[in-house]
Amino acid sequence: MLLFSQPTYGLGIKFGQREDFNLNGAPVKTDPDEQPMRFNYIRFYENIYRQLKGAWYAGIGFNIDHHYAINDQLLDTPTNFTSHYDYSNKKGFSLKKYTTSGITFNLLYDSRDNAVNPLKGHFAQLTFRENPKFLGSSQAGSTIYYEYRTYLNLGDKKQLKHILALWSWGQLITSGKLPYLATPAIGWDMYNRSGRGYIQGRIRGENFAYNEAEYRFPISKNGLLGGVAFLNATTASNSIINQPIGNAFALGYGMGLRVKMSKQTNTNISIDYGRGRNGSGGVYFNLQETF
């Protein structure tokens, strides 16, 4: 169970003009698209896989996303409406709580040499999720989720130090509807790693696609220090304003430092700095690689 105080910024690719002002002489920047929210969130994902052959696996699962005690803090009807209010009213969802509960059917391929810090191989996943009302969903709906990662060696074949890592994931609605906070968003992937350059939840959409490329290179000869440079692009849809997926993109970019914590498992401590659209930026700390 998670207790959240996190702003939302509407659906689709939308960036307003930041407003600059001074607070006790110190410059402060505000985002006019920011809509503060508080909510509680229970997530339960359980999937069982069976090996088909080699790196291929198939499985079935049961997933629940339950959002409740939602407090849309900027909402003040009838004078001030929010994206959550507008979407929920038009799609027929409660403003205070909703549930998405369903069965998943999964196909997985994993040929990575090391799940912690891959130097070669591929990871691919395709998931179909059906959310019927008889399993507790507020409204019926279904989605397709996809993810693909690959790692290409650009340097000495024996050393495997210079790696180009590619990552793509997304989700598409195939039928029905999803409640607002259950729609896919940046930083809300399974391990909360996407979207360096933006705050979690800054980009959200009914249909959503995220792509990232990262170049990983050594700094010290003994492998203690390494570095990365990355570039990502996100697109998301908003049916309320008829913005389709692929209509606009938000780019993020930056660099990072890697400190070897374990040579045995090739585990790194990650420190990254990312920048995004409209002055967005942040520092990100992780154990292991971003993907």
- Tell me the domain boundaries of the chain: 49-60+100-287
Dihedral over Cα of 282, 283, 287, 290: its sign: positive
Alpha helices by DSSP H, listed for 52-173, are 83-91
With a pLDDT cut of 70, the percent of the chain lying above it is: 92
Check: CB of residue 236 under 8 Å from CB of residue 244.
Answer: no
Q: What amino acid occupies position 128?
A: F
Task: Return the pLDDT at 260.
Answer: 93
- pLDDT grade for 19, boundaries at 50, 70 and 90: very low
What is the C-alpha radius of gyration for the chain, rounded to an integer number of angstroms? 20
Q: What are the tens digits of pLDDT across the range 41-84?
A: 999 999 999 999 999 999 999 999 999 999 999 888 777 889 99
For residues 3 and 13, what is the distance between their CA atoms, to the nearest angstrom?
Answer: 26
CATH no., domain 49-60+100-287: 2.40.160.50
Q: What amino acid occupies position 230?
A: F
What is the DSSP-derived secondary structure letter of residue 16?
A: P
Say whether pLDDT at 7 is over 70.
yes
Question: What predicted TM-score, i.e. pTM, was given to this entire model?
Answer: 0.90
Q: Which of 156-165, 222-231, 244-253, 265-274 has the lowest mean pLDDT?
A: 156-165
